[in-house]
Structure 1
């Protein structure tokens, strides 16, 4: 059964639910207003998506920013910046403009992708949406940014990884079309976290070991340093504070969270269970080393394009293993890193027995053997980076 694509919001419902419990009346009201507006927008998108022939507007990826001036009707927003226009005196306008451009350029330069739909789709952004709106989202045609309530959220246009996250929902919709519920929905969210993080790393020219691997740190709880909405490196440890409690994301399959496939149930826990493939990507990236978009990023991007609407964790893991072999060679360190990473989140690649780890020479480096007669080969000696990954996985097992 076909499911209508929802609007894709950066802030999950369980965060807004926590805000409804705040002792601050203004914070509670902002959360309630955000939830009501989001529900209305979801209904509007269902109507729009049902209209046959509705397509995105081509335009060589050109950016246009509009100011909603705290309104909610996009058609009444004022044009405030164009691709050829000057900078604005409004920080939110310029941050949105810059973030759209960096995300567009990342996909163009790294993956030779022509905007979100690979056909030059123009990028429209709307800032100052609604009053104290605690969210940012991609609605299938444009980016919308709320200003936040000023207490738990600052202006959502201020985070590059949030912008990269949301635009990647558009990429996913125009490639695999991952259905937004249960495991396929969690993969959908994970793809946005992965490539949102990579956009930021690419813009800063950070290697995998240098990145913070956090999502939304700049706009989430501005009064609390060091936390974020999610962490790819440590799902379940992005935040821990009195306002919101402890980050509930799982980091392995034995901790998978089963929730109802409803809006209040986060469509089956899509923002929660995304922590599992997020962790697998992080482990792959640090296992390969260097710039994450060059190795792990290409593997994940090719796997995304090869996936379908109902792809789950197991199928996606198997596809990344295959794509790592296609891109870097069967038995390559990159493919071995993918194998070890998914094992680290308790997903075994289909048809590949659990790898045996053993020293292969006198310097203590580590190799892995896949043992499959049909393949008639071994996964060769891992490089020093994969040896470091093995130590990381051993630490994870010790801390269980």
Structure 2
């Protein structure tokens, strides 16, 4: 199962830490502290028959349906508009409808893939999720989009590429199944940006040369100094603002971010394959989805790319997808050389990735007398924006949270935590009490861990 958020956690953290605006900080905290129901949900993928995910059979007119959560957390919420039905008059509903329609159309009409699973599974989308929710995600079964906080973020349904990005996480889940950590996780994120850009450009009828190559264009409100959330053409240049900081994405392996946060920097390092795609698409010319997009889709669905594929494996797969066209192979290979993934080689040749490519480092869980420790630290990373937030509370000081934190720590056995693999765009929490440290994906938080995280992180 996958679950994916649009805004990277490093960006949400900057909002949550906005000391100049208490209301804005609360909005950031509200989004980061995802509802307990979402944290504890145990969603399962569609039933498997002989290892093949089975589609849910619905009438053709229900190929997709947009629901509203009415600013609550129950999913999928109430249905509002299904495929073929007229506009609802609710901007978020109609924007989500258009985004699903465009995403489904790209994969069906260009790549011959019916829905995200290739078997016609109906698409479920929910809008108006929670209040002031600064995110969007794919939870393994459906798309979920927030309304934004009205101060930094506008509606997450507004840029079509947000919804398309999450839809493509579903496609990746049912094709290569790229693991959400380190390089495979960054590839997972990049696949969503690549095909989201294709959806956006196809809707606008733009060639690769005409496109802006921004992901999340129009997502920020005008008061924010930002062109978008990410730039595929120039990673690290999408925004620079006093509140949200500077875009930290990288676009070359020499700058690869080796970190345990954000599931190994999946939102930071995805700029590297993003830039490779931009280079290929603009050099081939024409429409990005016709040539470059076809190469990327063929690589994603090839046997050469599996759950643990890194940048170099995927790069070789795109070169192989060019077939016997020597000129095409050269364009593709050269782009991967320019971002530092492949070594220079003969035209169309394949080479290894340079040394230093990092993967997420593991953090072991350790038990111990947690209640005797004086400081409890919590770090949260991941989410669509890939941002990281950290805070600490002393259990012996005058902080009004100290007594409850001390009580929680006394009954939590960190050594007993057995976390499952991280899921796309969902948060990962790190709890540290003295020498005991454990990393817990959002879906594995117990009620006590959820409460501890809320207490420690809610008043930065």
- Regarding TM over 0.5, the answer is yes
- The 2-side partners of 1:51 and 1:145 are apart by 21
- 1:354 corresponds to 2:324: no
SS at match of 1:74: coil
* Contact kept in structure 1, 2:161 and 2:196, CA below 8 Å: yes
Moved over 4 A (4+): 50-56, 368-372
- The 1-side partners of 2:209 and 2:36 are apart by 39
- 1:24 corresponds to 2:25: no
2:273 equivalent among 251, 273, 277? 277
Distance of aligned partners of 1:79 and 1:189 in 2 relative to their CA distance in 1, 3 Å threshold: same
* Contact kept in structure 2, 1:8 and 1:137, CA below 8 Å: yes
Distance of aligned partners of 1:52 and 1:293 in 2 relative to their CA distance in 1, 3 Å threshold: closer
- 1:317 corresponds to 2:315: yes
- The 2-side partners of 1:177 and 1:320 are apart by 17
SS at match of 1:37: coil
Match of 1:41 in 2: 38
TM-score normalised by L of structure 2: 0.71
- The 2-side partners of 1:316 and 1:276 are apart by 12
Cα deviation for residue 222 of structure 1 reads: 3.6
* Contact kept in structure 2, 1:154 and 1:220, CA below 8 Å: yes
Cα deviation for residue 81 of structure 1 reads: 1.1
Match of 1:68 in 2: 69
- The 1-side partners of 2:84 and 2:211 are apart by 32
Match of 1:91 in 2: 91
Cα deviation for residue 29 of structure 1 reads: 1.2
Cα deviation for residue 330 of structure 1 reads: 3.6
Residues 140-219 of structure 1: matches in 2 within 5 Å?
140-219=140-219
* Contact kept in structure 2, 1:7 and 1:41, CA below 8 Å: no
* Contact kept in structure 2, 1:207 and 1:292, CA below 8 Å: yes
- The 2-side partners of 1:291 and 1:83 are apart by 27
* Contact kept in structure 2, 1:280 and 1:342, CA below 8 Å: yes
* Contact kept in structure 1, 2:316 and 2:350, CA below 8 Å: no
- The 1-side partners of 2:292 and 2:84 are apart by 35
* Contact kept in structure 2, 1:7 and 1:42, CA below 8 Å: no
Distance of aligned partners of 1:36 and 1:55 in 2 relative to their CA distance in 1, 3 Å threshold: farther
Unaligned runs of 5+ in 2: 352-460
- The 2-side partners of 1:371 and 1:309 are apart by 20
Match of 2:439 in 1: none
* Contact kept in structure 1, 2:194 and 2:274, CA below 8 Å: yes
Cα deviation for residue 226 of structure 1 reads: 5.4
Q: Deviations over 1:288-336 (max 9, x none)?
A: 1111111110000011112100000111111111111x2xx241x2211
Match of 2:138 in 1: 138
Residues 283-302 of structure 1: matches in 2 within 5 Å?
283-302=279-298
SS at match of 1:26: helix
Q: Deviations over 1:75-117 (max 9, x none)?
A: 5x22211223221111111111111001101111100110110
C-alpha RMSD over aligned residues: 2.2
* Contact kept in structure 2, 1:151 and 1:222, CA below 8 Å: no
Cα deviation for residue 42 of structure 1 reads: 4.7
Q: Deviations over 1:250-294 (max 9, x none)?
A: 11001000111xxxx111110110000000000011111111111
* Contact kept in structure 1, 2:272 and 2:339, CA below 8 Å: yes
Higher helix share: 1
- The 1-side partners of 2:267 and 2:277 are apart by 16
TM-score normalised by L of structure 1: 0.81
Match of 1:387 in 2: none
Distance of aligned partners of 1:10 and 1:206 in 2 relative to their CA distance in 1, 3 Å threshold: same
Match of 1:57 in 2: 56
- The 1-side partners of 2:45 and 2:100 are apart by 27
| More contact order relative to length (CA 8 Å, sep ≥ 6) | 2
